Homo-oligomer: A and B are copies of this chain.
Amino acid sequence: MDDWTEQVREQQLGFLEAAEDLDERAAEIRGRLDAAVTAGQPADGLRNELRWVTDLATSARTISRVPFLIPDEGVAVRVGGQALPLRPIASSFGDRLAELVSADSLDPLLAAERPLWSELRARLLELVTATKAPQGAALAPLSSARLPFTVGDYVDFYSSRHHAENVGKIFRPDGAALLPNYTHLPVGYHGRAGTVVVSGTDVVRPKGQRKGEHGPVFGPSVRLDIEAEVGFVCGGPVTGEVGTSAAADHVFGVVLVNDWSARDIQAWEYQPLGPFLAKSFATSVGAWITPLEALSRARVAPPAPANPLLPYLVEDTDWGLDLALRVSWNDTIVSNPPFATMLWTFAQQLAHMTVNGATVRPGDLFASGTVSGPDKHQRGSFLELSWGGQEQVELKDGSSRTFLEDGDTVVITATAPGEDGTVVGLSEVTGTVTPAA
């Protein structure tokens, strides 16, 4: 276990121990409360105390792993099914942190980088183990109508070997499934940052050109698809190469991503410069960012490389992540893509992305590419699940599909192992298809 993991694990365990202490205190207060009620004595003070201690225990369990978001009123952390806005209790933090958590978005925090991110987690731990609620602390309803950060550049990788092989077979049936570069570098491309939207935003069916019998035809996409992905949110700015061993210092956290894709538009437009309008109409991300620290128990070795790697892509520590994704199509679970099967890790992706000197800005988002495992029920796109539209996907309501119909809803969720047998849940990403404009 390396230093990073050790440190983060201690932090996680600190939260969990705090939760257990708080459970004991809650039990003790509950005893006094019962006694007071039985004796007909006034009990409102005890009731308030019990509520606060119980909330703190929940908070300790969930802050340890869940995450940052922007409900209506600036930076908050998720506490169970509620949000704890940090601005009203900003004075509980040091001056610099107080300023960062009082902002309207996570942007200033992303620009602060790892040492302050760690300090914030440490202060949150103190907060949930304090005996009194800080002045102004109040839980608020979850509301997630806003992107939690401003997306700088958006890069989409293609790091599932199984996905790349499936797409290769479907799109280029006469060629090799994998191109020669695939196992030597994390293939990726830039997407449209301005059309990244928060989970819950409707997705309007895009229009565009597709191949027809006698030249291209124009109309609403007839092969609208999803891509279930995991996205990484960067701090920064970072200038100069980020080696694989430093990558975690520049990644604030993780969001689930649905990179909606119009396969008919893509097949016609994508050569020679890659996907463009097939992907640029909408990319949905979860409303919460799960801090990278919360995934320390999920770290696993990635699959062995198929060939020796160039030194800048070699990892001295494992950054594969054992995230179990789940894709629901109109309430039917159609796939369980395993993120641990990805050929390239986020550390290798970031090292690759910066090896040419490209700078990284706070808010830059890079996604893994579609997560697909080796088995059929592990495919992260409908292109693969329907094998290019040839096989129907059966839904619970008795209907079947190849690609998305208007009104369809897709929900992507994921879990990861947490400390001591707990489970970390990532923010879901959901969207409903509405008819073409």
Contact = CB atoms under 8 A, between A and B. Distances in A.
A209 B352 CA distance: 10
A153 to B, nearest CB: 5
A137 interface: no
B189 A273 contact: yes
Contacts of A281: 356-358
Given A207-B356, A275-B274, A357-B206, A216 B181 contact: yes
A355 B153 contact: no
A293 interface: no
Interface in A338-359: 352-353, 355-359
20 contacts: A172-B272, A179-B271, A181-B216, A187-B269, A189-B276, A190-B190, A194-B358, A206-B356, A207-B355, A207-B356, A208-B355, A208-B356, A265-B356, A271-B272, A274-B274, A274-B275, A277-B353, A277-B356, A278-B356, A281-B358
Task: Report, nearest first, the 6 A-B pairs whose CB atoms are least far apart.
Answer: A274-B274, A206-B356, A190-B190, A189-B273, A273-B274, A277-B356
Interface of A: 152-153, 155, 158, 168, 171-172, 179, 181, 184-185, 187-195, 204, 206-209, 215-218, 240-241, 262, 265, 268-278, 280-282, 307, 310-312, 352-353, 355-361, 364, 437
Given A153-B194, A270-B272, 20 more contacts: A179-B271, A181-B216, A181-B269, A184-B209, A185-B269, A187-B272, A189-B273, A189-B274, A190-B191, A192-B358, A194-B358, A207-B356, A217-B310, A270-B273, A271-B272, A272-B274, A273-B274, A280-B356, A281-B358, A282-B357
